[in-house]
């Protein structure tokens, strides 16, 4: 581990040696009090890439000039627009291109995946998930078990941290899987827990589930673009993520889906179908009888929302350029430096995020947490507050600097 020093010179020297430093210029930073903010909420809504506007304008131009013919004659024909994104998105999550498709929004995709991969039987109908999951995921799981006629109190097994602990031990997760294997149909976890910032051991959880023939899926909302993911190698069954957090694709932006290639040609698998998932070569024959396209693309329903996809495509191009290895390498040092600076501030801040993490640190505050949060805001730092008492800070390796992190420490000293 790098030996850190809590000085501006030191932070600047790390920035000078940062191969990703130049990407900061590729994003717009919001202003607070007339000055560029220190933006630490890329985990919630990533910043706007400067390339987004031109990408959007291209599609508006083609729509203006071609109308419906843009489906075939535009610069980037809309007929197979999703394909422009597939390979780039696959690289972000460590998948083969035919295992990935970009479509819809996150919670929608979670439900679509559950239609195919939560298939309860009389004996095996339970879902194992982390306690305190992001509310949308809790609601999705609850409504899915009810949809299948089960009682959520009985059908959902939540794993909580041990007394006095803030994150889950992998051994406890695997223990719960082993103990409930006979009744479990699905294991559904987040990749990075939104509240604690813990990165789960997806490979171990998947292996433990598969040992018992249980399907394993992940919600990667806080993991995509943040962790080095290897969904294919880990043999994950399915995953979903959103484009607007670490992937910087704008509010409500499109979502990505991973379906393991073991299911690429599985027309017998139940799914909710729509014309865009139909075998592409026959999509416009308008025939009766649904034949799914090969791979994850066979889960599409609707024609591509080209405008939000254009922004996502522009953003994914940046990730393609940097690669996830370089990003995660910087991320580890940047986040370790934030931890160091927080500890050095002398404010007794309690970080509940474990070593297994992405770039987010969650700080558990006392009764004065809101005041601390407001102090940060007043001094140009955009972090976020999560009820009941956590401040989250996520220095993202793509556009945050070591100097940003050092400044957080200075602002804390003034509190
Ligand atoms: C951000 C987030 C969501 C949001 O869902 P949308 O459908 O994009 O609104 C859902 N689940 C998790 C785990 C998240 O972090």
pLDDT digits (tens, 9 = 90+) for 253-296: 999 999 999 999 999 999 999 999 999 998 888 889 999 999 99
pLDDT band at 84 (very low <50, low <70, confident <90, very high): very high
Report residue 91 as tokens. Answer: 């690289």
pLDDT beyond 60 at 1: no
Residue 249 Cβ contacting ligand 1 at under 6 Å: no
Specify the ligand 1 atom closest to the Cα of 194. 15
With a CB cutoff of 8 Å and minimum separation 6, the contacts of 353 are: 167, 196, 197, 198, 360, 361, 362
Domains of the chain with CATH codes = 8-50+323-413 (3.90.1150.10), 81-321 (3.40.640.10)
Neighbouring CB atoms inside 10 A of 2's CB total 11
Q: What's residue 183's pLDDT?
A: 98
pLDDT beyond 60 at 225: yes
pLDDT beyond 90 at 415: no
Q: What's residue 287's pLDDT?
A: 85
With a CB cutoff of 8 Å and minimum separation 6, the contacts of 125 are: 145, 148, 150, 155, 183, 185
Task: Tell how far the Cα of 191 is from the centroid of ligand 1, in angstroms.
Answer: 12
Torsion of CA 286, 287, 290, 292, to 10 degrees: -60
Percent of the chain with pLDDT over 90: 92
Residue 23 Cβ contacting ligand 1 at under 6 Å: no
When the pLDDT of each residue in the chain is averaged and rounded to a whole number, the result is 96
Q: Cα 164 from chain centroid?
A: 28
Q: What's residue 366's pLDDT?
A: 83
With a CB cutoff of 8 Å and minimum separation 6, the contacts of 382 are: 30, 32, 37, 38, 39, 40, 41
According to DSSP H, which parts of 261-350 are helical? 306-344
Burial tier of 132 (Cβ tally within 10 Å: 0-12, 13-18, 19+): middle
Torsion of CA 142, 146, 148, 153, to 10 degrees: 70
Residue 194 Cβ contacting ligand 1 at under 6 Å: yes
**pTM listed for this prediction:** 0.97
Q: What's residue 99's pLDDT?
A: 98
Angle at 253 between CA 250 and CA 254, to 5 degrees: 150
Secondary structure class of 298 (helix, strand, coil): helix
Q: What's residue 347's pLDDT?
A: 86
Burial tier of 83 (Cβ tally within 10 Å: 0-12, 13-18, 19+): middle
Specify the ligand 1 atom closest to the Cα of 137. 11
- Which is more confidently placed, 21 or 288? 21
pLDDT band at 348 (very low <50, low <70, confident <90, very high): confident
Strand order in the sheet with 100-103: 100-103, 255-259, 238-242, 215-219, 184-190, 126-130, 156-159
Q: Which residue has the tokens 């673009």?
A: 225
Q: What's residue 2's pLDDT?
A: 61
**Which of 42, 45, 46, 106 to probe ligand 1 with, by most ligand atoms within 8 A of CB?**
106
Tally DSSP H helices, then E strands, for the chain: 13, 17
pLDDT beyond 60 at 106: yes
Percent of the chain with pLDDT over 70: 100
Report residue 141 as tokens. Answer: 């799981």
pLDDT beyond 90 at 388: no
**Which of 107, 108, 195, 255 to probe ligand 1 with, by most ligand atoms within 8 A of CB?**
107
């Amino acid at each position: 581990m790098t030996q850190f020093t809590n000085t501006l010179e030191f932070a600047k020297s790390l920035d000078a040696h940062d191969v990703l430093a130049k990407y900061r210029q590729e994003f717009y930073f919001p202003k607070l009090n007339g000055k560029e903010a220190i933006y630490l909420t890329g985990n919630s809504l990533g910043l706007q890439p400067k390339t987004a506007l031109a990408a959007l304008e291209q599609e508006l131009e083609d729509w203006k000039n071609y109308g419906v013919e843009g489906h075939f004659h535009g610069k980037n024909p809309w007929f197979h627009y999703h394909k422009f994104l597939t390979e780039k998105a696959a690289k972000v999550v460590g998948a083969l291109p035919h295992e990935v498709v970009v479509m819809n929004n996150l919670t929608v995709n979670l439900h679509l995946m559950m239609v195919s991969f939560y298939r309860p039987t009389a004996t095996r109908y339970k879902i194992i998930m982390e306690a305190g999951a992001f509310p949308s995921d809790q609601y999705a799981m609850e409504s899915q078990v009810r949809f299948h006629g089960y009682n959520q109190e009985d059908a959902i097994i939540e794993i909580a941290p041990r007394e006095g602990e803030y994150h889950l031990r992998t051994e406890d997760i695997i223990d719960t899987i082993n103990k409930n294997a006979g009744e479990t149909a699905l294991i559904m976890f987040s990749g990075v827990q939104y509240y604690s910032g813990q990165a789960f051991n997806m490979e171990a959880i998947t292996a433990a589930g598969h040992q018992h023939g249980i399907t394993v899926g992940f919600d990667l909302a806080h993991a995509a673009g943040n962790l080095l993911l290897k969904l294919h190698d880990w043999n994950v069954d399915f995953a979903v993520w959103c484009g607007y957090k670490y992937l910087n694709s704008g509010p409500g932006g499109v979502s990505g889906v991973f379906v393991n290639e073991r299911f690429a040609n599985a027309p017998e698998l139940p799914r909710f179908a729509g014309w865009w998932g139909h075998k592409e070569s026959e999509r416009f024959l308008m025939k009766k009888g649904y034949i799914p396209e090969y791979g994850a693309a066979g889960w599409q329903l609707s024609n591509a929302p080209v405008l939000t996809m254009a922004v996502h495509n522009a953003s994914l191009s940046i990730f393609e350029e940097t690669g996830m290895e370089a990003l995660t390498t910087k991320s580890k040092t940047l986040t370790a430096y934030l931890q160091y600076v927080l500890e050095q501030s002398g404010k007794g801040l309690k970080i509940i995020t474990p070593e297994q993490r992405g770039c987010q640190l969650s700080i558990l505050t006392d009764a004065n947490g809101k005041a601390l949060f407001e102090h940060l805001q007043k001094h140009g730092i955009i972090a976020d507050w999560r009820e009941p008492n956590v401040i989250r800070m996520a220095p993202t390796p793509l556009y945050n600097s070591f100097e940003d992190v050092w400044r957080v420490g200075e602002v804390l000293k003034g509190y």
